[in-house]
Structure 1
Amino acid sequence: MQRRILGLAAVVITVVGAAGCGSSDSGSSDSSPAGDSKTTQVKVGIIPIVDVAPLYLGQKKGFFSSRGIELEMVSAQGGAAIIPGVVSDQFQFGFSNTTSLMIAQVKGVPVKSVVNGAASNGKVGADVTGVAVKKDSSIKSAKDLAGQTVAVNTLQNIGDTTVRESVRQAGGDPSKVKFVEIPFDQMPAALDDGRVDAAWMGEPATTIAKGQGARVVASPFAETDPKLTVATYFTSTKLAQQNPDLVKKFTAAMTESLQYASDHPDEARQVLTTYTKISGDVLKNLTLPSWPAEIDMASLEKLASLGEKDGLFGDKKPDLDALFS
C-alpha cells in the first residue's frame, strides 16, 4: 500500500499504492473573500502515509471548513504525479519531501512551500525512518553499510542522501554503499528474503520488519539533523500570486492541524485507520514523525548541502529562501 514516501519521482519521495489521480474536473472555485460567504473546494495531492495524518485530523476537527475550505484528498504515486499535478492546477496544494521540492526548483518547476508537513522526531533508533537489517546480519552500525546493498524507495533523493550521511558520521565510506530502488511496502519481504543487505524504511514498513525480527542500525533523518524538516505542503507560484487569501487560509488551517496532531498523538494515530489499511499491533506500535508548525531552515540548509555533495542538483543550487520562506 505504501510505495514511496518521499521522492520527486515520488513524494518525493515516495509512494504508496492507491494511485488514483483524481477526476479531470477542476474542483477549485475562486476563494471567498474574508467573510467566508462561500466554500472553496480544494484538492490536495497526497500519499496516504503516516506523515499526512494531521491533514486528515484537521479536516475531521473542522479546522479547514471553519475557514471556508472544503478539502478533497487525492492519492497519487508521489512527487512525480503530485508536483506536476499542482503546477497544472489539478491540485491546489500537494505534499512532498523537501529534497524533491529542491530538485523541482532547480529544474525550473514553479513551486513554493507554504507550510510544514513532517519532521524527524530526533530519536536515534526510534525515528520515523530507519535502516533495518536481518536479526542475524553482521551489520552492527551504519559504518558497516559500506560495501552492502541498501534498499531505498527512490534513488537520488532524501533517502540515499541521508543514509550516506549516517555512514559518513559513523566513520564508513558512503561512496561504497550500493543503493537499489524498492517500494517501501515491499522492503520487509526483500530484507527477509535476503535480496538486500539492509533497507531504509518508513512506517509502517519498519514496524512490520521489526515484527519479522529485523534490527534498526541507523536513523538517517535524526542523524542528519534531529530537527530535520522532511516534507512540506506546497503550491504553485501562480496560485500563491493569484490567490494569496486561499494560501493564507490553507496555511493557517494546516498549522492548527499540525499543532493539534502534536498535542493529541493518539487521535493522530487513530485517524490513520480512515485512509490506510494500518491496524492492530502495527497501528499500536508504529513510530510517528514530529509535526512542528515551523519549518527548520538550518536542517534544510544541511540537507541541501548534502544533496549538492551527491550531485542531485546539477550545477545549480536550490534557493531555499524562495522555496521555503
Structure 2
Amino acid sequence: MRRRTAALMAAPLLLAVACGGAEDADVGAGVTATEELEEVTVGVIPTVDVAPLYLGEEKGFFADQGIDLTFEAGRGGATIVPGVINGQYDIGFSNMVSLLQAAEQELPLELVGSGVASTGVPGADFAAVVVLPSSGITDAAGLADKRIAVNTRNNIGTTTVNESIRTAGADPSGVEYVEVPFPDMPEALADGDVDAIAVVEPYLTMATADGAVVVASNLVDAVPGLTVAAYFTSRELATEEPDLVERFTIALEQSLQYASQHGDEARAVLRYYMETEIDQAVLRSMTLPAWPTEFDRSSVQRLADLAIEDGLLTEEPDLDALLP
C-alpha cells in the first residue's frame, strides 16, 4: 500500500490555517518540496476517536518522520482488522475487544500505540447510551429486553452496554443488538427503529441536542479510564519495516499529546473528515475522550473478563504478548 510521494506544502498549510489561524502557518517547516515521504494507509473509524491522527498529519508530525498518511474509513474494528491482515491498510485503528479476539485467533497483528480512552467520568464521557424522553427508560436497568443500536454486534459496544445493565441490577440477556453505523444512529433513534443507541461523539451530542437523554455511560460502567482502542499493524510489516513502524509510533505519540493539550484544534479538525456535517455548537459542547500514550493494562484485563462473560472470548488472553 505504500509508495513514495513528493512532500507538498500547500495542502497542509490550507487546512492548518483553516483550523488554527495564521499562527499555525509554519506547519511542516523543515520538509522541502524536493523531499519524499513514504505513504502509509491507515484504516480508521470516522469519529472523534481518531482526531489526533488527522491533527498530527496537519501539524507535520508524520511528515517530520518521513510519512504521508492516507486515511480510509471503515465501519468498525471488526472490519479493519482483516483489512490490515490482507494488506488493504498498513496501520489500523480498532477497539480492544476486536484486538483481543484477533489475539485469541492468533492473527498476525502487533499493537503499535494507544488510541483512545474513556474519560472515566459518568455522564461526561465521549460515549453513552441514549434514549428518547418518550421511551419511559430512565436508567440502564430499563434497557433490558430493548433494541439497542451498536456499530458492531458482539463487540465492545455490546459487552460494555451489558455491563451497564448488570450494574443497574438487570439482566442483559434479552437485549436485541442492531448494527447501525454511528452517523446513522441519531436518525434511527428518532425514527423509532431502535429503543436506544450506544453512540460516540460527535453523534452523541447531536442526539442529545435533538432531545435524547443519557441513561448509561457504558464505557465508564465497564471500568473507569478504559483503554478503548489502539493502533496496530501486521506482524509482517512490523518485521520487515521496523523503522517505519517506529517512526509512525513516534509521530502518533506526538499527535496524541498535542490533541490532549489543544482541545479546540482537535474539535476543529473533525469538520474536515467526518461523514456528517457538524454544527459549530456541537463542536463546542461535545465531550472529548482521553488520548493517553500508554495502555491501561488493568482496564484491558477487565474488558477481557467482560468479553469472556459475554461469550466474546473463550479463554484468558495473554496481555503480555498483546500489549507493547
TM-score interval (norm. to shorter): 0.7 to 0.9
- Higher mean displacement: 183-192 or 224-233: 183-192
Q: Tell me what 1:319 maps to.
A: 318
2-side partners of 1:199 and 1:48: how far apart? 17
Runs of 4+ aligned residues of structure 1 deviating over 4 Å after TM superposition are: none
Q: Tell me what 1:302 maps to.
A: 302
- Higher mean displacement: 219-228 or 171-180: 171-180
Q: Tell me what 2:147 maps to.
A: 149
- Higher mean displacement: 69-78 or 303-312: 69-78
AA at the equivalent of 1:307 = A
AA at the equivalent of 1:131 = V
CA contact 1:28–1:43 (8 Å) conserved in 2: no
Which is helix-richer, 1 or 2? 2
1-side partners of 2:179 and 2:130: how far apart? 15
Q: How many residues align?
A: 293
CA contact 1:44–1:73 (8 Å) conserved in 2: yes
Structure 1 position 28, deviation (Å):
4.1
- Name the SS of the counterpart of 1:39 in structure 2: strand
2-side partners of 1:185 and 1:41: how far apart? 28
Structure 1 position 117, deviation (Å):
0.7
TM-score scaled by length of structure 1: 0.85
- Name the SS of the counterpart of 1:278 in structure 2: coil
- Deviation sequence 1:185-234 (CA, Å, 0-9, x none): 22222222333222111122211211221110100101111210111110
Q: Tell me what 1:90 maps to.
A: 88
Q: Tell me what 1:176 maps to.
A: 174
2-side partners of 1:274 and 1:212: how far apart? 23
2-side partners of 1:60 and 1:41: how far apart? 15
AA at the equivalent of 1:294 = E
Structure 1 position 38, deviation (Å):
5.6
AA at the equivalent of 2:72 = V
Q: Tell me what 2:2 maps to.
A: 27
Q: Tell me what 1:278 maps to.
A: 278
1:117-132 aligned within 5 A: 117-132=115-130
AA at the equivalent of 1:283 = L
Match of 1:266 among 264, 267, 270: 264
**1:141 and 1:304, CA in 2 relative to 1: closer, same or farther beyond 3 A?**
same
- Higher mean displacement: 75-84 or 124-133: 75-84
CA RMSD of aligned residues (A): 1.8
- Name the SS of the counterpart of 1:232 in structure 2: strand
Q: Tell me what 1:10 maps to.
A: none
AA at the equivalent of 2:256 = L
TM-score scaled by length of structure 2: 0.85
- Higher mean displacement: 95-104 or 81-90: 81-90
CA contact 1:28–1:92 (8 Å) conserved in 2: no
Identity of aligned residues (%): 51
